[in-house]
Structure 1
């Protein structure tokens, strides 16, 4: 079956300064208040720890889901192991919107190769990276996303964004030739991560009582990768500069590989921010807005942000999974049942245009999808 062609002119981002270049300038051109003017937030975000946590209580941690246990028969001799893991997945989707997945079956060497390739790419001279820059009106390439006005506060980060699945969506002109391992490594990594996303969506469908799992797994039929570089920033200690503004992901399912051990990802929970500590070998998974729409709000996307470190750089690889162009997003009839649908149905093309033309701002995409 042929894939629908990738539409053009879906929108892009306004050009912005290269943050890695700003942060790496020599002392006489070091980051100054004037340079930082577009990055400093008028009302700094506050503490990471939930404000309602009793004194001395250990902070909550994002749930961990064991995919091998979730999908396979009990191999540890414990009765109900698969059911217990399914319950853990259900709770994570309903109560957290985030979890870390372990025993996902992606070879450790594939993960490490991908990390090395991304570190190698961002270590290239600016001119070599800029040769892969986004074209006007396009989102793919090296640059930034969701900049829609000259007045908005900018994120302290650079990104490299590629469409990776299905192969017909790829613009191979933008796939780097350096490092030499990049193309083959990205091919292997994206195939493995797409498999994991499909397996998780199938398990979610099972939990929801959806008979046709394809109605959920189709939300991993298309894939894009965003590689993030967060340079150190001397103003980060006052929490007035962010690497990524608070937002929910406007996709089906996101799987994130934290390249650096430097913490930075945080999720909004109970009025505060909970850090997601890097867990060796794990992928961070978050429910996207499209899954919230499909489940009519039973599974929910959650705001998250990236903070930056005053002294150390940080990198991550976010892999976004969505439906293919030519399909529709909307609440699933089996999940809605006797309820009223809370969200409208739109084509993938219409939805992508809405997303690309918006800035990162909480759950603004979900607000636009709600039925009044």
Structure 2
């Protein structure tokens, strides 16, 4: 991984660009015409991804339980995305987590620079994905940190300002990981497997990987020319996204259309990652998505990535491989797999497609 030790050119903080008062964005951020959001894409009138109430999973009414399982199953197959309400995570904790990160990004640049990251781990304060020199860049800054396994958890790399940040990260990480474990059981049951089968394929509960990426999308004077995050599918297992409730930005590909997700209050957006697409032998879909930016408002979102143990071989679960549906993907560890996006940056579905047997 020597080629990932440093960025290929000086890193520019997008927030600093935005706050400088510029009226035109630099060429580095202007996307090819085919990749730009059209006025229709920037409109917020689209249909929404499924919204699912998890409370019914705890009901003694088997019909309600079955209906909820069925809704999640359909969402994983048809959308790769859904929103969950009544999920058990404290609404106050969700609000405080968003606010503490907004406060971090409001800090002076020299304070944030103390946490500047490198492409060797990506942990810390960053502004780009991928190490290709001269690549087109996204209109966003971020903070990336490890939460699981506990051996990788290094609080000294977490922001010390605001004062509440480290404590909130720990509490938020604990609650969101628990929710991911519940959802893993649901996904496993829906695949016709034992409730712990998918979790065991990830390496159990203690050795899984969980990391947090907090995204900051500054105001942009020309939002029709760029993107906050280029089209990609998530390389990990499952993503739990806490969106900015005040500003829509996430778009999900549905066929040839981009659907703008309307965040529901106190909901998480859940999406299937590439590793679950591989394990399910493409019964569940890891779907391409991107982020548009706004000329009036900044956006903050928190993405908790729930991933397999990094050195385990991930391949289609044998119970889901049949004569009519042979294994679609070659085995690969998550360590090997994520190196692709860390090197290339977001590139649609090219990554998971590259695993397919030829």
- The aligned counterpart of 1:42 is 32
Instruction: Indicate if the aligned counterparts of 1:10 and 1:352 stay in contact, CA closer than 8 A.
Output: no
Correspondence list, 1:1-372, <5 A: 11=4, 14=7, 15-25=10-20, 30-33=21-24, 36-43=26-33, 44-48=36-40, 59-74=46-61, 80-135=63-118, 137-211=120-194, 213-216=196-199, 219=202, 221-236=208-223, 239-338=224-323, 339-372=325-358
Structure 2: runs of 5+ lacking an equivalent: none
Instruction: Indicate if the aligned counterparts of 2:281 and 2:329 stay in contact, CA closer than 8 A.
Output: yes
- Which secondary structure state, in structure 2, belongs to the residue aligned with residue 195 of structure 1? helix
TM-score after normalising by structure 2: 0.91
Instruction: Indicate if the aligned counterparts of 1:39 and 1:154 stay in contact, CA closer than 8 A.
Output: yes
Distance verdict in 2 for CA 1:305–1:121, change over 3 Å? same
Instruction: Indicate if the aligned counterparts of 1:47 and 1:273 stay in contact, CA closer than 8 A.
Output: no
Residue 328 of structure 1: how far off its partner (Å):
1.8
Structure 1: runs of 5+ lacking an equivalent: 1-7, 51-57
Instruction: Determine the C-alpha separation between the residues in 2 that align with 1:300 and 1:106.
Output: 25
Instruction: Indicate if the aligned counterparts of 1:264 and 1:308 stay in contact, CA closer than 8 A.
Output: yes
Spell out, residue by residue over 1:75-119, the C-alpha distance to the aligned partner (whole angstroms, 9 max, x if none): xxxx60010111100100000000001111011111111011111
Distance verdict in 2 for CA 1:180–1:252, change over 3 Å? same
TM-score after normalising by structure 1: 0.88
Instruction: Determine the C-alpha separation between the residues in 1 that align with 2:281 and 2:152.
Output: 29
Spell out, residue by residue over 1:261-304, the C-alpha distance to the aligned partner (whole angstroms, 9 max, x if none): 11111111121111111211100001111110010111001111
Instruction: Determine the C-alpha separation between the residues in 2 that align with 1:109 and 1:10.
Output: 42
Spell out, residue by residue over 1:211-267, the C-alpha distance to the aligned partner (whole angstroms, 9 max, x if none): 26243465472101000111111101xx21110001111110000001341111111
Instruction: Determine the C-alpha separation between the residues in 2 that align with 1:45 and 1:60.
Output: 17
Instruction: Indicate if the aligned counterparts of 2:144 and 2:212 stay in contact, CA closer than 8 A.
Output: yes
Instruction: Indicate if the aligned counterparts of 1:265 and 1:305 stay in contact, CA closer than 8 A.
Output: yes
Root-mean-square deviation (CA, aligned residues, Å) is 2.1
Residue 165 of structure 1: how far off its partner (Å):
1.1
